[in-house]
Amino acid sequence: MIISVASGKGGTGKTTVAVNLALSLSNDADVQLLDCDVEEPNAYIFFNPGAENEEVKPVHRLIPEVDEEHCDYCGKCASACEYNAIVVLPGQLKVMLFPELCNGCGLCSMVCPRDAIREVPHEIGVIRRYRSDSIELIYGVLKIGEVRATPLIDRVKEELRPEKMVIIDSPPGTSCPVIAAVQDSDYCILVTEPTPFGLYDLKLAVEVLKLLKIPSGLVINKAGVGDREVYKYSEAEGIPILLEIPYSEAMARYYSEGMPIVAAMPEWKKRFADMIEEIKLKVKDKAKEK
């Protein structure tokens, strides 16, 4: 089963929920925790693995390389490229490449009539893996200066083993990296806070999940601050509240030190585990409907 954790607004507590869920389940199941927030991966902080205990593999995507000996500067590659990542200057007998604009579709090499374009690997980041008892943590780290997160997220998700209990920590926002992270999950937990910002971005995230046809429920973090509008919205839209985590200085402090809630306050372990049981039932009901 694949459960993703997303939010719309950043900093609402996605990683907190994902990490504590994984820890709460680890007695009973083989758990995979995939941190797909490759721009700013933080889940590992709560496991404090130490670099020597991690397996690291570089990830590449393909970018074009032009063999100017075979190129006749016809410009077909440049006119085919939708991203202006390749420019041909026939007068100067020159081809210019802009790798940061290239999305690696491979069309330029397909259209080249002289086979003068080949694709070469370009490193976009790494995937790191760490095993702790029954939890396998896998996370992507996007290389500084690389702007496209989606190809790395896709590669992190290739490590996914659906026969295990899989928890996916999604990036914030509502656009392509989020879609890449949550797609194909059986259920999505939306973490929000009861504030106007939390609610506005939650609504955007709910719309994305509807589009992807992924059932969802809410975790309200920092409950007790802000207002009641998120609760009204949840009732009006029929989106269940799975768990409330109250705002407390103690919890904020544990988080700041990189300590999981369930390690500092073991009574929370059951609450997270119960939430998963509830989600399992919802996913089963959904499967029956189909």
Partner 1 sequence: MVKQLTIVSGKGGTGKTTVVASFASLAANKVIADCDVDAPDLHLLLHPEVMKRTEFKGAKLAEMDKTRCIECGNCASVCRFHAISDTPSGFALNPARCEGCGACVFVCEQEAIRLRERISGYTLVSRTRYGTMVHAQLSIGEEASGKLVTAVRTNARQVAEDEHCELVLIDGSPGIGCPVVASLTGVDLALVVTEPTMSGLYDLTRIINVANHFGIRSMVCINKYDLNESNSRKIADFCHQQGIPVAGRVPYDSIVTEAMVEGVPVVEYSDGAVSKAIRAMWSYIKYTL
Name the site residues for partner 1 (rule: CB under 8 A).
8-12, 15, 37, 39-40, 42, 45, 80, 82-83, 103-107, 110-111, 142, 144-150, 154, 171-177, 179-180, 183, 195-197, 200-201, 204, 207-208, 211-212, 225-227, 249, 252-253, 255-258
Place of tokens 């106007």: 196
DSSP output for 140-208: EEEPTT----HHHHHHHHTT--TTSEEEEEPPSBSSHHHHHHHTT-SEEEEEE-SSHHHHHHHHHHHHH
Minimum CB–partner distance for residue 182 and partner 1 (Å): 10
Minimum CB–partner distance for residue 242 and partner 1 (Å): 20
DSSP output for 48-62: ---GGG-EEEEEEEE
Minimum CB–partner distance for residue 155 and partner 1 (Å): 12
Give whichever of 37 and 165 is closer to partner 1, judged by the CB atom. 37
Minimum CB–partner distance for residue 169 and partner 1 (Å): 12
Give whichever of 265 and 273 is closer to partner 1, judged by the CB atom. 265
* DSSP H or E stretch at residue 232: helix 229-237
Helices (H) and strands (E) in the chain, counts: 10, 11
36 DSSP β-pair partners: none
Give whichever of 171 and 276 is closer to partner 1, judged by the CB atom. 171
Minimum CB–partner distance for residue 85 and partner 1 (Å): 10
**Identity of residue 12:** T
Give whichever of 27 and 79 is closer to partner 1, judged by the CB atom. 79
Nearest Cα to Cα of residue 19 among 280, 258, 274, 270 = 258
Minimum CB–partner distance for residue 278 and partner 1 (Å): 26
Is there a contact between 137 and 21 (Cβ–Cβ < 8 Å)? no
Give whichever of 134 and 195 is closer to partner 1, judged by the CB atom. 195
Give whichever of 21 and 153 is closer to partner 1, judged by the CB atom. 153
